[in-house]
Amino acid sequence: MPGKGRLDRCTCVAYGLLVSARRVKVMADYYAFPLWPEAGLLLSDELRRQLEQWGGDYTDTLRSNGYAWPNTTVQTDWNERGRRLAARVQHELGTDYEVVFFDEVTQTTEPVQPS
């Protein structure tokens, strides 16, 4: 295969490799919409609103607690809400997208399975 580094879609098709056309990460960050990248994604207004609320809860909760989770229950509940939202993102975007979720509890990125 040609060169080192990232393979583009054409190279992968030429070599018979299966790759996702697009990758979207669901991950909260302070004062940010929790999809990376966000631009151009066709999602329902309701899902966008819920993602914005989830991201805002991250900022508000951590900011009001010295940038730490107040307890593991709050963190786990918030994290599970995000995982469910990530599954909805995958469902709405379809199989042309690879959606991954950043797990705040384990500090790992995990794939979201298409439904």
User: In the chain, where are the structural domains located?
Assistant: 21-111
φ/ψ of residue 111, rounded to 5: -70, 150
Neighbour tally for 63: CB within 10 Å? 11
DSSP label at 68? S
pTM: 0.81
End-to-end CA distance of the chain: give it in Å, rounded: 33
Q: How many CA atoms lie within 13 A of 114 on its CB side?
A: 8
Residue 17 is predicted with a pLDDT of 52
Tell me the pLDDT tens digit for each residue of 46-75: 999 999 999 999 999 999 999 999 999 999
Region of poorest pLDDT, from 7-11, 30-34, 36-40, 87-91: 7-11
- Averaged pLDDT, 16-42: 85
